[in-house]
Structure 1
Amino acid sequence: MKKIIITLSIALSFALPSYAFADQAACEAKAVSKDGKPLYGAAKDASIKKCMGDAKPNDCEAKAVSKDGKPLYGAAKTASIKKCEGGK
């Protein structure tokens, strides 16, 4: 049983990064201008970043602070996180 768990964990550790690369490849394919021409440079990077969904919950939780720099709690924290994530 222990060998099966170890084998599965190793297999998943190799599968997850390839999944992330597949998402990036799909986003790179979508990085085209309105004319249908591929984007280059900063425009391409911005398009891929937007496609990959750069705002992560952990980043948004770290940004959920008051004007005084103190962490927010309750409804204020929830609203701040929701605003940071783009209202998802």
Structure 2
Amino acid sequence: MKALAGALALVLPMLLQPAFAATEQQNKMATCNKDAGDKKGDERKAFMKDCLSSKPKVSEAQKAQQDKMKSCNAEAKGKTGDERKKFMSACLKKG
């Protein structure tokens, strides 16, 4: 019985993951559908294609953080373990 419970504990999260992905796609579809408004025919088809294939927008703060991470990561080359962790922490905190 314990083995079955253990197996379910390992498998259950994997079974639920596709449902989450479908929900994200459904939310995107609903948003695009709402934004399409009164568009009809080819105009609506083109709008929906662009809307559904677009990637989420990255804010300026997120872009700055990504750039800082790339820069610090490049500077940390050759460092490993605690030395790298300490360096990255200090580098990312620099303002």
SS in 2 for 1:40: helix
Shift of residue 66 of structure 1? Answer: 2.2
1:45 aligns with 2:50: no
Indicate the residue corresponding to 1:3 in structure 2.
4
1:74 aligns with 2:58: no
Shift of residue 30 of structure 1? Answer: 0.4
2 CA distance for matches of 1:5 and 1:62? 42
Which range is displaced more, 36-45 or 4-13? Answer: 36-45
Higher relative contact order (CA 8 A, sep 6+): 1
Between structure 1 and structure 2, the one with the greater Rg is 2
5+ long unaligned stretches in structure 2: 59-64, 77-86
Indicate the residue corresponding to 1:18 in structure 2.
19
Paired amino acid for 2:30: A
1 CA distance for matches of 2:56 and 2:11? 31
Structure number with higher helix proportion: 2
Number of aligned residues: 70
| TM-score, length basis structure 1 | 0.51
5+ long unaligned stretches in structure 1: 54-59, 80-88
